[in-house]
Amino acid sequence: MSTRRVITTTCPAKLNLVLAVDPPRDDGMHPIASWMVTVDFVDDLEVTQLEPDRFSRYAILWHEDARRTSDIDWPITSDLAVRAHQAIEAHVGHTLPVQMKLQKRIPVGGGLGGGSSNAAAMLRSVNELYELALDDSTLESIAMTLGSDVPFLVRGGSAIVEGVGDTMTRHDAVPVFHAVLVLPELTCPTGAVYAAFDQDLPPTSRSGEVRGLDGTIPAAEALFNDLAAPAMRVVPELAHQRERVAVLAEGPVHVSGSGSTLFVPCSDALHAGHLATALQDQLELPAVPVAARGLESPILEEIQ
């Protein structure tokens, strides 16, 4: 290989603007209905094509400007981006050697879909790097084997996601939405949060409310998350931090996914920037202003 092909791209976090969860099915999976959007809080992924006889190698580290970090102590073979690479190799039936460098900003276990976004970006990158010409539907089918958030993140943007991530109604445009993400030093184990949800099921399903949304952002106080209360029962400190943020924000504070990230809807970018600064200065909480957006175009380079 006389030149090295390298793709650099970003892996955006996702927010559940609204999230309805139904009781578990016979297989234990919980059907959901959620309005998901991607935002401009991202991990960075660099994927380099290697010679056909090389073994793939992977590096995962925190970006130097990451606001909240934790130990990267999971086996490399269990990382979702690595599993995505192996899944696309299995789909085409032969090896696709790469060197991966993943620089993370999105907290692990924060309810922002960071690992799922890494996986989706890996699928897109390897598809382009090796000119496999797999369409988005095919990539989404591969993504379904990796996790319920991964299919949405293959294309990102804005969509109503239902079932176990297998049904999507995508919106033509990403809504204008600004918020502040608050990243407390807490971890909400997803399994424990769903177990707490099962112990106190909502009296009625709100899935129909989610399906009825027309692409217009509801008022901040109308956003909801069926996993918020269970997450705060599992990790009571999350409720305490939410109260602290609400006093300063003077408005509704929501939980993203199964936690532990909190988000505060804002009127515009200026409002989000000022509030993030105030949260950091007065409450000493990591806070990041964000806006909803679609995927950025990857950059493909050929290096001698």
Contact 244, 186 (CB under 8 A): no
Distance from the Cα of residue 94 to its chain's centroid:
29
Q: Could you give the count of Cα atoms lying within 13 Å of 259 in the half-sphere of its Cβ?
A: 29
Contact 85, 56 (CB under 8 A): yes
Q: Rounded CA gap, 98 and 47, in Å? A: 6
Q: Looking at 14, 22, 43, 226, which residue is catalytic?
A: 14
Residue 101 designated active-site: no
Which residue in this structure is represented by tokens 């909502």?
202
Which H/E stretch holds residue 295? Answer: none
Cis peptide before 2 (omega within 30 of 0): no
Q: Rounded CA gap, 223 and 79, in Å? A: 31
Q: How far is CA 8 from CA 43, 99, 103, 105, 129, in A?
A: 11, 12, 11, 16, 10
Q: Looking at 43, 79, 149, 226, which residue is catalytic?
A: 149
Cis peptide before 260 (omega within 30 of 0): yes
Amino acid residing at 42: V
Residue 73 designated active-site: no
Q: Rounded CA gap, 79 and 83, in Å? A: 6
Q: Rounded CA gap, 112 and 188, in Å? A: 12
Q: Which residues are catalytic?
A: 14, 149
